[in-house]
Amino acid sequence: MKSVTITTLKDMKREGEKIVCLTAYDFSFASLADNAGVDLVMIGDSLGMTMQGNDSTLPVTMDEMAYHVRCVARGVKRAIVVADMPFLSYQQNREQAILNAGRLMQVGGQVIKLEGGEPMADTVRFLVERGIPVCGHIGLTPQSVHQLGGYRVQGKTRDAGERLIHDAKLLEQAGASILVLEAVPAVLARQITQALTIPTIGIGAGRDTDGQVLVLQDMLGIYPRPSPKFSKNFMKGADSIEDAVRAYVKAVKTRSFPGTEHSF
C-alpha cells in the first residue's frame, strides 16, 4: 500500500477521514500495527511506564528512545513513524533540541513529537525551518505531570480553554504538522480542531478530533495498572492481537470509538 505522508494526513483531515495512531515500542508490534492499517505508529515516551514499569515518563533517556525508534522503524512500511522527544532532551535550548531530534530521525523517526504550547513555539519553528517535521502535544502533557498536579483533565475553565486554543494556533503558525490533544473536554477539542488546518490527534479528547491515538498496552488490556477512562480494551471478543488492532482501526475510522464514556 502507498506510504502515508504529512500530505496524506492533511488530505484526510480535509476529506473527513479519521486518522488512526497507535503506540509501539518494538519491531514485531510495529509491523503488526502497520499491517493492520494504522496510519501513524508512535514511539511514545510512555514506554517508561508500559515497558519499564516506572510511575511516569520522566526517567526515559535519549539512548532508550533511540533504541526503540530504531526497532520500530524496521517494522513499519506504510505508516508514519512518530518519535517522542523525552524529558529534558529539548527544553534547554534550540541547539539541544535539533541535535536530539536529528538523532531520532537518523534512526528512523519521520516526525518528532514534543510537549508544550507557547514556550515551545520558537523551538518548533527552529526545527521545522531546518527540515524536521514536528508533532505538537498540548492539554495533559505527561512530562509536566508534577507541575500539573497529576494526570488531570486540562482546559476545563474558560481561561484554561482559551490558553489551549491560543497554544494550538501558535504551534500551527510555528510549523507543526500534527497536534496531539490529550485529556481535554470534547467540546474544547472540537473547537481547536475546527480552528486549525493541521490534523489533531485526540487521546481522551472526544470523537471530533481528526484522529485518535491509544497506548498499545491499554488497548490490548495487558497493562497491569489501571488504564485511563479514555481507553478501551479491544482484545475483548478478538481472536488475536492483530484482530484487536484491526478492530481499533475500524472503530476509529467508523467513528464508533471513542464514545461518550471515553470522553470528558
Distance, in Å, from the CA atom of 192 to the CA atom of 195, rounded to the nearest integer, reads: 5
Q: What spatial distance separates the first Cα and last Cα of the chain, rounded to whole Å?
A: 36
3-class DSSP state of 1: coil
Active-site residue identified among 95, 118, 172, 182: 182
- Contact indicator for 251, 257 with CB cutoff of 8 Å: yes
Q: Dig out the grid coordinates for 179 from the structure.
A: 497536534
The upper half-sphere exposure of residue 183, i.e. CA atoms within 13 Å in the direction of its Cβ, equals 14
Backbone φ and ψ of 36, nearest 5°: -80, -5
3-class DSSP state of 142: helix
Q: For this structure, is 162 an active site residue?
A: no
- Contact indicator for 87, 60 with CB cutoff of 8 Å: yes
Q: Nearest 10 degrees: CA dihedral of 21, 216, 127, 63?
A: -160
Q: Fill in the DSSP letter of residue 179.
A: E
Which stretch of DSSP H or E encloses residue 190? helix 186-195
- Helices 94-106, 62-75: axis angle to 10 degrees equals 30
Q: Tell whether the torsion through CA atoms of 216, 222, 224 and 225 is positive or negative.
A: positive
List active site positions: 182
